[in-house]
Structure 1
Amino acid sequence: MRAALCLSYWEQQTNALLNMWSFQKWANQSGNLNVVEPFAVNSVLGFPSEVLYNLDFSNALHFRDYFDLEHWTEETAKYGIPPLVSWDMFIGHASRKVVVVILVYEVPPGGVYINDDLKKHRECNNELKRFKRSTQSILDHFDFKVIKIVCFASYATNERHLYPTLEEFNSYIIDHDYDDVTLWFSFWRGVQFDRITIDNQIIQRAYDGEANTLAMARTSLRIIEDSKRYVKTVLKADTNGYTAVAFRTTNRKTAMLSHGYSRNKILKYFYNCANNISHVLIELEMTYSCLAIDLGKFGDLTSEKYFDYDSNNTFDGKGTKVFQTALNAVYGNKTVDKYHNDFITAANGIEDSGYIGAMQKTIAENAKCLVVIGGHSSFQRSMIQHHKDRSDCVKYICYEEKL
């Protein structure tokens, strides 16, 4: 079996899905390569070291635990894309000859480096070392043998005449002398002018439109059932009988930083946003409400650290003033720990942040009314899109797509 897999699709859930879709299209355009269904660990799709290094497959979540695999297969088949191959099928039938493909970005000089030549490019060499640390255990355990290593160093440019064609790109990694190989990539960020620059529109990450691609991805039945359990046992509400508050800080914070906002100003901004939640909920006259937020144990770790204390050092380290203010507005008297534990219980003990995040997204999409805070988030745009399929009750607080 000629298989292709990727150590990581780089970003979290929504963007990772767009990147994986680009990879599936690349594989199909490159000779019907079989793409292996990725694992899912804390919103990352791929084959992370947490799974590979420890050979821990039995407890690992897969793409199918986040998303409805059957529906994804049906939708992608409309584009002539074959189904994802399961991990067990891959291990049982994949070629043991491996071509390793390293992709590095924004690290001149650009170019293609093969085998020992990777030592001439520092980031290619560093990325290869990271790749080996993650995969050496699995390669040895299942008798895979690396026969070739290729590194593509690229940088952002709008000048399409500088892009390699698909045929040129593939010529370095698909060798007819080794037709039966496994192609194992490092990080696939998707084909785009500021990502992987290949001159082929079909394989671009959002060529068919971001909304169309995300519509192909339905939530898994497992997450839907756990989301219903949370609504019933924690909110004690009927289906569609509650309001959801979707609060995203990460990308909006990054956008504000790029426009010269100070940390203190950003913290105050989001604190004021959190304070406005209670006013909107009173206006909506809803008895039950749920908070979906990217802070805390199930949120973005970079944002959690950023919001952990303010310039006066008054944050307590267990959450943030922003987080606790939002919790108070939505639930009344609820601690951060209680908030986390309620979701873990509803998920039957799962603590994976991506799984819980998908639960929160599902709860929000099925709410009677949705209150949205933040912006600059494909995860949030997808949430709004799916919610509007069911209800036109959407309220915005501190929400902007572009600054």
Structure 2
Amino acid sequence: MNREDFPMINTDYIYLDNGATTWKPKQVIESINNYYTKYTANAHRGDYDISLKVDNEYEGARDIIKEFINAKTRQEIIFTSGTTDSLNIIADGFFKQNLELNDEIIIAESEHASNVLPWFRLAKTNGIIVKFCPLDDNHYVTLNNLKKVITPNTKVISLAAITNVIGDLRPIKEICAYAHQHNIFVVVDGAQSVPHIKTDVQDLDCDFLAFSGHKMCGPTGIGVLYGKYELLNTIEPHNLGGGMNESFDTVNDVFLKPLPTRLEAGTPNIEGAIGLGAAAEYLTSIGFDKISEHERTLRKYLIDKLNEIPHITIYNEESDSGVVSFNVDDIFAQDVAVYLNKYNICVRAGNHCAKILKNEIGVKNTVRISIYLYNTKEEIDKLVSLLEDKNKILNEML
């Protein structure tokens, strides 16, 4: 699908590590190149034409993202360095001042480190209790299992909409509805979901959403923190400096600008925001229905092929996304990845930053395939052909 838009397609690589990052279409590359070659200047600081052009492009990207996730206002879109940055801002900037001793936050053992470690830190600083939602037999989070661990002390549920190893699509809308009935905030890690499925924050009614540009065909080093306006407006800025203040004086009186600027101190990642806007427009032009259907078709094809190989164990056969995690029996996951690399096939191997999940699935490391819109059945065939002969893998490891 749209492979001609991706310059990296012209290389010899078969790229199946899209959960880590994605290739970039020429439309995104051109948008960044235009900034560097046609109107390079700072944002929100100049009174000359190219600076005003930068302002329009940078703030235009905010408007694009506002429409992309259907936020109520552009003030609810904060540019960050990525999902990790956004989740840390949520934890430290909002919940640190709103959670008290013995308040509870619920996460899951299948969460990425970025949705675990900020809460662990709050447990140390604020004395909150981090609880884990039990997973079902498929290692999924369900609303019924969440209900089992919710208590009157539960104040936050923080979950990925799609996880990066199991690939399950969580019932976020239903979770939000139930949580809000019990005055519980819901934080959504959208790193693996926003690039693949249509995301409507008003329909979900989530309180916060974090996602990254580089996983959705955009640049690295740019991400988004979405929050409901009334919540974002109470966040204590972690970074203070130029651009986000109205005034300050010698007696320490500091007056901050309104959202979103008050949470974007210093020179922003201008080209990153512009490229992210271009990526959002690119994905919208294709349509998430087409992207999702393409991924579902390829995923089923891959699962069917892998199931024909007796020495392969799949850990998430029933999941809802383009993420497939498996192992070759008796061979270390990283050794499989190194073997595939000899044939220019790029996969991820390891714990995938979900280091607690091993308690659930019984293995520490897996090989992960993560599919995106530009992958093909022919690429899957090449991958499978290299996995069929276990002895070949073992021999080439020597």
TMscore range, shorter length: under 0.3
Q: TM-score, normalised by structure 2?
A: 0.24
Q: TM-score, normalised by structure 1?
A: 0.24
